[in-house]
Structure formats: structure tokens, C-alpha cells
Amino acid sequence: MKKYFFIISCLLVSQLYAQKLIYPKIEKQPRLTISLEALKNKIKGGWAGKMIGVTYGAPTEFRAQGKTFDDPINWVPADVKGSVWQDDIYVQLTFMETMDKYGINAPAKKFQELFAKSGYMLWHANVQGRKNYFDGIYPPMSGNPLYNLHADDIDFQIESDYIGFICPGMPQTANKIADKIGHIMNYGDGVYGGVFVASLYTAAYFESDINKLINRALLSLPATSDYATIIKDVLLLHQHYPADWRKAWQELENKWGKVNICEAGKTFNIDAKLNGAFIVMGLLYGEGDIEKTLEITTRCGQDSDCNPSNAMSVLGIIKGFDALPLAYRNAVEAMADTLFDNTSYSFNKAVTQTMKYAQDIVKSNGGLIQNGEMLIKEQSPLAFQLEAAFPSLVFDKRMPISSAKENNDWSITGAWNKFSENQSLFSSKAGDAISFNFVGTGISIEGNWVKDGGVADVYIDGVFKRRIDTYFDYANQEHRGVNIFHILGLKAGKHLVKIVVTGKKNVASAAANIYIAGAVVYKTGKKINEDYRFSFQ
């Protein structure tokens, strides 16, 4: 009797499966559920947040360095149309185009290639990643501090949004993608900026409490990294000054404001850590209010278009597009089919493709799409591997080439000419050389990447180190006063760097000129903020 009952039961269950009245269980039933309609609404909110935030802060970008921005902010929703020219958006859309063409698991070199060959302008870590591609330096070395003095810069942080958008509830998967993409142009804290932002989004689909959101995203970072430390500092400052973001900002500035490498010695700070801290400050003190979050994040200064762009995207995911102010929604929808600079993507296409990739990734990670719902196999955050771009590296001094007459550390041989635009010297004659004596453990030589740039050989302490090509004319863009060569990790003491003109050039270059603007000296020691304590500690 039991045998016949078992057979009948099996037949009944089979019929129910066929009629889709019950569903097969998957191993470890997903704990996160979201309707496809809600998912799309949140994705739209995230992309709209990028566009709103970046245009809100664009007129203030780097107008407040080491201080808060206190002038009026005159943004109106119609200004969102300017987002089509913002690197915060177009770079990551190129990464999505790479996935469209080569698949989500395409090698990092393919992602580097498409963004290197794109027609838009790039700066800092991104432009070094582009230059490295054309110099034959590929990921992960293209972001490594050996070949990229901008390794800790903000670049990956501002273009990692799509990674979090396509990984709802899956921070481990987001980390894997961030590992590949982030090392195209960054390393260490520069990569962690993108990891942290992406992790915020993965959690924001299901968590609206800002404190919980930030603390969860922190779990994706190595706890001892400087990036994790500065975010914890913001949380601590918020606890101590819960109603006064300006006091918290000043304490943060006192400790972290001068911690940067690529623009060391200047008030300009494009380091991912400080700007990431401003994102968190805006979210905490904004308390979920859109206008308040935008204003505070922007008034924190430095890269004050990128930071509100990230903060507003977090709110966009949390609230969803339909909960944004009507004027904001209308402004975005008015340009929803406008293409972003040198991409095939519009807002509408970004939403559509993000939806597609989110569903693909959920399914490939053990989830299900059924009955208009997404069932996600939730992932607990795991800390990214620990890496430090510039451990114990400390800025010492800047020495412009214009000081050569008064400074015996410079030695100039040959017929060098003056280039007045940035007070540099240039020569195309083979054998002409410039040497610089310094005491320290690292040196950066600054000069020009230009369309008439040539090839030079670099020697350290009389030993050939590397050949550099200073030609640059991509996206109709040149770069003056940039790092053209650097070496770190030298033994502490006296050293001599020598740049020798070869008279050779890239076939595309208009001439073989080498431009030298100056040197930046680094030493090894305690970081400037290492022993700093907040006033209340």
C-alpha cells in the first residue's frame, strides 16, 4: 500500500512541476528577493543619481582645495544634460561596451584596450592606464605603482558604479570584477575606492539604513588599509559631531588632507581615500535627504563633482527612480536617449543592459528569475586582498627646472630651449641630457606628454633604467607638467637621475622633443598623519 501511495505522490508532484504550480528548490535557497520591476526602478535611480550628482557638483570641481566650498551652488535639473561629457559615466559605459562585445569574462587587456582607444579625454590614473596600453604595459601592471604614480587616485572609484549595479546582494562577485577592472588604472587604496563604492550599491538594493550600509561595505575592504581607516574615522567623527558636519570635516582635513602622492606638496588632492570619505560624510550627514546629501558632499570640496555623483547614486538605488523629485526625473527622461561621449550608450540603454547583466550574474551565481521576481543567493562580504601602493612613502620637496640656475643639484648639457607655457626645457638633439642629484628613496620627473614628444633614456646612479616615450595625442589631448618617469624603493641616500635625449620618436610624433619641467623627491618615513589624534581623543 505504501509503495502505491509513493508512486501516486511522485506522479502528482511531476504534474505540478509541469504546470509550474510549484518550483524546484535550488541548493541553499536564496534569502534575497526583489521583483524585476523594483530592480529596474532602482537601477534607473542609480544611473540617474550619477547624472544628477556629477552635474550638481561640476561647477565646483577642485575650486575648494583644503577648505569647504561656501559659494552658492546654482544647479537646476536641466543641467543634467551636461552628464554626457563626464568621465564619471562614459568610462564605465565603455567597460559595459566591452562586455557587450567580448563577454563579461573578457580579459582585462580587452577592457583596457577599448577605453585606451576611445575618443574621450582622460586624466590622472585613467590617462596613465591609456598611455601604458600604448607603451605595451597591460593589466595588472598598468595600474601598478611601478608604472603608475596615480595608483591611489580616485579614477576607479568614480567608474565602478556599474559593477555594484549589476551585482545586487553579491559583494563577493563585485570584488572579483573590481579586481580585474580596478587594476587597469589603480592599485591599493585606488582599487579599494571602487571596491567600497561597488559594495555600497550591492547592499543598497536591500538596505536603506545609511550606517548599516557603510559598515557592511567596509567588510569588503582589508580592515588595516588606509581606505578602511579613513571611512572608520568618518563614522567616528559623525558619532562625536552628529549635528555639525563642518567640525567633522575640519578634523578629517587636519588628519588626511595632505595624504596624497601624485600631486604631493600641493593643496590639490585627488586621492581616492579623502574623496571617498567625503562621499560617506555626505551620506551620513545627508540622512537620506537628496538635496542635503548633494549639498554637503559637494561642499566638502576637492573632486566635488565625482563625490556627489557617487553619493547620489547610492540614494538613487535605495529610493528608486520613481521616488526622485519630479523635476529630476523629467530632466533625465528628456535626454534618456542621448548618447554619452564617444559611446553607444544612453541612459535608457545603460538601464536595459544593466538589467540584463544583473539577471545573468544572479543566475550564474546560483539564483533564479521566476514569476517576475529575482531570487538571489546572498553573499556575505569578504575582504579584498591587502595591497599598498606607496607604503611609508613620504613627500619631501618639489624642484622645478626653472630653479636650475640657483640650484646646483640640476646639471644641464646640450642645447636645451625654454618652453614658456609651463617653464620647462626641451630638446630633440641626441645626447643632450639633464641630471638631478637628490637625497631620498624615490624620484618623479615631470615633463610633457605632447604630439611632438620624443624618446629618452633614463639612468639611475649611472645605470640604464628604462626608455620612455613622451608622445601623446589621443582624443586630441596633450598633458603638460605630468609624471613622465618615476622610480621608488631606492636605498636611502644620495642618488642621481639622468634623462638623455635619443633623437628618436614614435612614428606618429611630429618631432623628437623631450620636455623637462622639474622633479619631485620622496623619502621613506612616517606618514604625515601617522601619529595624529582627533581633538576629542
Q: Within the chain, which residue ranges are assigned CATH 2.60.120.260?
A: 393-524
pLDDT digits (tens, 9 = 90+) for 492-516: 999 999 999 999 999 999 999 999 9
Cell 587604496 appears where? Answer: 189
In the structure grid, which three cell numbers stand for residue 145, read together? Answer: 605603482
Question: How many CB atoms within 10 Å of residue 531?
Answer: 7
> Which pLDDT score is estimated for 29?
52
Beta bridge partners of 497: 436, 460
Name the CATH superfamily, with its identifier, for domain 32-65+78-376.
ADP-ribosylation/Crystallin J1 (1.10.4080.10)
CATH label, 393-524, candidates 2.40.37.10, 2.60.120.260, 2.70.150.10, 3.30.379.10: 2.60.120.260
What's the CA gap between 499 and 470, in Å, rounded? 12
The dihedral through the CA atoms of 317, 321, 325, 331 has a sign that is positive
Q: Within the chain, which residue ranges are assigned CATH 1.10.4080.10?
A: 32-65+78-376
> Which pLDDT score is estimated for 420?
87
**pLDDT below 50 — which residues of the chain?**
1-27
Which is nearest to 171 in space by CA: 203, 149, 206, 144?
203
Burial 141-168 (b: 16+ CB within 10 A, else e): ebbbbebbbbbbbbbbbbbbbbbbbbbb
Residue 379 and residue 423 in contact, taking contact as beta carbons nearer than 8 Å: no
Contacts of 311 (CB under 8 A, 6+ apart): 53, 279, 282, 283, 286, 293, 294, 297
- What torsion, rounded to 10 degrees, do the Cα atoms 233, 237, 239, 240 define? 140
DSSP 77-115: GGGGGGGGG-HHHHHHHHHHHHHHHH-TT--HHHHHHHH
> Which pLDDT score is estimated for 501?
98
| SS3 annotation, 393-458 | EEEEEEEEHHHCCCCCCEEEECCCEEEHHHCEEEECCCCCEEEEEEEECEEEEEEEEECCECEEEE
What's the CA gap between 395 and 283, in Å, rounded? 32
Strand order in the sheet with 368-370: 32-35, 373-376, 368-370
Q: How many helices (H) and strands (E) does the chain have?
A: 17, 14
CA-to-CA dists, residue 77 to 52, 84, 335, angstroms: 8, 14, 12
Beta bridge partners of 418: 425
> Which pLDDT score is estimated for 28?
52
pTM (2 d.p.) = 0.93
Beta bridge partners of 438: 495
Enclosing H/E stretch for 223: none
List Cβ<8 Å contacts ≥24 apart for 508-512: 508/471, 508/473, 509/451, 509/452, 509/453, 509/454, 509/471, 509/473, 510/451, 510/452, 511/428, 511/452, 511/453, 511/454, 512/428, 512/452, 512/454, 512/455
Cell 611601478 appears where? Answer: 146
